[in-house]
Structure 1
Amino acid sequence: MNDCSVFCVSDHTGVTVEAVAKSVLAQFPRLEFSLITLPFVDSAGKAQAAAARIAAAPRALVFSTLTDPALRAVLRSAGAGLFDVFELLAPAVETALGQSATPSGGRTHGMAPDYEARMDAVNFALSLDDGLSPERLGQADLILVGVSRVGKTPSALYLALQYGLRVANYPLTPDDLVHPVLPGVLLAHLPRLRALTLSAERLAAIRQVRYPDSRYASPQQCREELVAAETLFRRHALPVLDTTRMSVEEIAARLRYP
């Protein structure tokens, strides 16, 4: 089955249904598809517009997280295969719990009780990005260390936004790597340090995009920095995560649940 249009329809942001759809479709590696997310489908008019768009697609699958059964019925009128997360899971959970669900849209990604904490964590990650404000490292839940462009900043921000963790990141520069120990500002926080690394080939490719044909992006420079950094990681017995083939979501999960 090729050239399939996959619609992710939600009455809120669409983050949850898109994640579910991607996880399911990853199990079908030969499937070629385009992903279309339709968020904030929270009225009959919007549902009808979504259904018309779905019906116009030659081959369509629909994943949805619509809490209103009436809106799901409108989508179903498009004639495409519809897989609604709540419709598929809620009845089984109701049976297991012995109580009925109370449908309400937007609870997962709305103003949850931890919203302010997550926003504070994002601000913290930005304030302590790339070695800034080292005097505040003691306030961090985790401190990510590694050479430039191994994924420290996106991982710190994802951990902050998704989990509310206060994560700093500290880059190891070539000047740091000539010393036998980590920079002094990090030594007082060893239990909270997490080291990131990746393959020299991957690092060179990433750096090449940012600074084409520079010494900074050369495979030799990348190899030398990674070897020196990994020597420091071993010396201080730091947990090391190789991010070569990992998405930021997987990096964050492995850092949170080592």
Structure 2
Amino acid sequence: MPAGRGAYFVSDSTGITAETLGSALLANFPGVAFQRHTIPFVDSAAGARNLVADIERAADGGARPLIFATVKSAEILSALGASGAVVIDLLGGHLTELEEALGTTASEQLGQFHGVGDIERYFARMRAVEYAIEHDDGQSGRALDIADVIIIAPSRCGKTPTTMYLALQYGLLVANYPLTDDDFPSDGLPSTVSRYVQKCFGLTTTPLRLSQVRHERRPSSTYSSLAQCTLELRRAEDLYRRNRVPFLNSSTKSVEEMSAVIMQSMRLRS
């Protein structure tokens, strides 16, 4: 395991919130190496004390570990504080501020951050995921008229992860379509998506990055060669420009960043 300062994302629920917020904070320190650990369902002081013992053994006299916590219980927070680690309470005073603003006290029930909540919103996300799976990589041309966005790009430019993120996180109906050599003799978009040009958004990347990604899938092939990647990307970008399809270079952007740009560019709302 690479050396790095211990960073623990600790939650009384799934740990997703702690990991997301903690990672967002750590991203501001690109020069520092971290060993990251997500510890969900720490819902008792006894569980916290057991975790503390593990953290202390792992630290073994090194730099003080970091604990990013999303737990409601003061007793659990106190137990985590006894570890000697730097405890960052990601809820902090925010619940108190909300209590004051809303004129009521927060529920003490644990693990509510990732509950179903709005049931209609939950089912909308599930329907969006089903739609994304059906329409992944051009597998289906059915019901493209109800798509919120159709992502088009050469193979391995990030279509599928972006599609799934938009569906699961925002409940958007997203299809994606791969651009292949067969799609480029024409100046227009592929026939499957040409009627929906206003819904299309393109992805591109750098030839070197695309070649590296493809090499992991098909090493030493024409598909992964730098020449082939350069040709496909040039053709794709020309196609986007001719058809006025907005597009984004995905080479240095996370799925979250790409999704945010797509939503803003296409004026989509969750």
TM > 0.5: yes
Tell me how many residue pairs correspond in the alignment: 257
Amino acid across the alignment from 1:164: G
- SS at 1:22 equivalent: helix
Matched residue, 2:4: 3
C-alpha distance in 2 between matches for 1:107 and 1:142? 32
The offset of 1:246, in angstroms, is 0.7
Q: 5 Å matches for 1:85-164?
A: 85-95=90-100, 99-113=104-118, 114-164=121-171
Matched residue, 1:14: 15
Matched residue, 2:37: 36
Q: Write out per-residue CA displacement over residues 171-225 of structure 1, whole angstroms, 9 at most, x where no aligned residue.
A: 1111101221111221211111111111111111111110001001111111111
Q: Write out per-residue CA displacement over residues 5-42 of structure 1, whole angstroms, 9 at most, x where no aligned residue.
A: 11110011111111111111122233222011100111
Select the residue among 224, 233, 257 that pairs with 2:240. 233
On the 8 A contact 2:6/2:66 being kept in 1, the answer is yes
- SS at 1:216 equivalent: coil
Select the residue among 188, 192, 202 that pairs with 1:195. 202
1:47 aligns with 2:52: no
1:80 aligns with 2:81: no
Matched residue, 2:268: none
On the 8 A contact 2:148/2:199 being kept in 1, the answer is yes
Unmatched 5+ residue regions in structure 1?
none
C-alpha distance in 2 between matches for 1:220 and 1:3? 38
C-alpha distance in 2 between matches for 1:185 and 1:248? 25
The offset of 1:158, in angstroms, is 0.8
The offset of 1:93, in angstroms, is 4.2
On the 8 A contact 2:13/2:113 being kept in 1, the answer is no
Change (3 A) 1:141 1:106: farther
- SS at 2:220 equivalent: coil
- SS at 2:115 equivalent: coil
- SS at 1:171 equivalent: strand
C-alpha distance in 1 between matches for 2:139 and 2:18? 36
Give TM-score scaled by structure 1 length: 0.93
Matched residue, 2:192: 185
Identity %: 41
Select the residue among 216, 221, 246 that pairs with 1:214. 221
- SS at 1:6 equivalent: strand
C-alpha distance in 2 between matches for 1:18 and 1:168? 29
More moved, 96-105 vs 21-30: 96-105
The offset of 1:235, in angstroms, is 1.1
More moved, 2-11 vs 193-202: 2-11
C-alpha distance in 1 between matches for 2:220 and 2:185? 24
The offset of 1:164, in angstroms, is 0.9
C-alpha distance in 1 between matches for 2:239 and 2:168? 30
Matched residue, 2:70: 65
More moved, 26-35 vs 90-99: 90-99
Give TM-score scaled by structure 2 length: 0.89
More moved, 109-118 vs 5-14: 109-118
The offset of 1:139, in angstroms, is 2.2
